[in-house]
Amino acid sequence: MPEGPEIRRARDELAQVLEQGKVTKIFFAFDHLKPYQSKLKNNRIIEVNAKGKAMLIRFSNGYTIYSHNQLYGKWIISPDGKIPDVKRQLRLAIHMQQGAAFLYSASDISVLKEHELVNHPYLSKLGLELLSATTTQEMVKQRLLTFHKSRRTLMTLLQDQRVLAGIGNYLCCEILHVSGLHPETRICDLNQQQLELIADNSFQLTRQSYETAGITNLLSRAEKLAKQGIEFESYRFNVYRRKGLSCYQCGDVIVKGKFSGRMGYCCLGCQPL
């Protein structure tokens, strides 16, 4: 599933094509949304925004298209407006004079008025946005402090969008590894230093992933591996998708398993329970 950094990067690409432009043609695959095609055509798109793992496309007539990529959703930009040749199901197409944007495979799409966004079941419950320009490391620390008495494990709490918006499975595994904490550690068992470490790494790694198109590994190490000809997917992570390989930090074998009911990766040498 795309996580906060991937959705934010998709937002940046969409904004370049859609923002401040007038819609020349729009297509919805779902029948209940087709009536909005005539309502949105010829209207200007005033803003494209990312909230957690959701995309919001605001129109000048007060409507907003909400979409959530879920597991397999993917936005594709077409500068010439031609439909891409991909083996996916087209769900939404927005055509502009300067290009087009296509959303494939996602099914969680709706068209809402401003007052409906406030009470939206996903948007209304989002926690602190890690990639918001106004979010600081101190705010992340204070947010986690409010859950310090909780008996929930870090594996489940960090991926709860109501706590910190944008962290999914790969970010969670990477944050915990860099912090030296086992996925099933309870937040109530952390000392002040560990809590601050989790907060700092949540903030920094999420932003690093956004800025580098998905790299959560140590950047100097990733650069060295890239120069050696290692493929991107093989050097971008510390532990995620590295089952059976040696930990860069301590040399122990990385394990894959279920932690608090969620699949994940960790190094037991660096992250003892």
Q: Is the same domain home to 147 and 73?
A: no
With bands split at pLDDT 50, 70 and 90, how would you rate the model's confidence at 191? very high
Any domain includes 272: no
What percent of the chain is modeled with pLDDT above 70?
100
Angle at 205 between CA 203 and CA 206, to 5 degrees: 65
Give the CATH number, domain containing residue 28.
3.20.190.10
Which of these, 23, 10, 29, lies nearest to 75 by C-alpha position?
Answer: 10
Average pLDDT over residues 158-167: 95
The verdict on 213 and 84 lying in the same domain is no
Residue 143 maps to a domain: yes
- Total count of domains within the chain: 2
Residues 85 and 192 in one domain: no
Are 262 and 133 found together in one domain? yes
CA atoms within 13 A on the CB side of 63: 15
Residues tagged active-site? 2-3, 53, 262
Q: Which domain holds residue 117?
A: 4-125
Q: Kindly state whether residues 169 and 263 are assigned to the same domain.
A: yes
pTM of the model: 0.92
How does pLDDT run across 217-264, given as a tens digit for each residue? 999 999 999 999 999 999 999 999 999 999 999 999 999 999 999 999
What is the layout of strands, in order, in the sheet containing 108-113? 45-51, 54-59, 63-68, 108-113
pLDDT at 22: 95
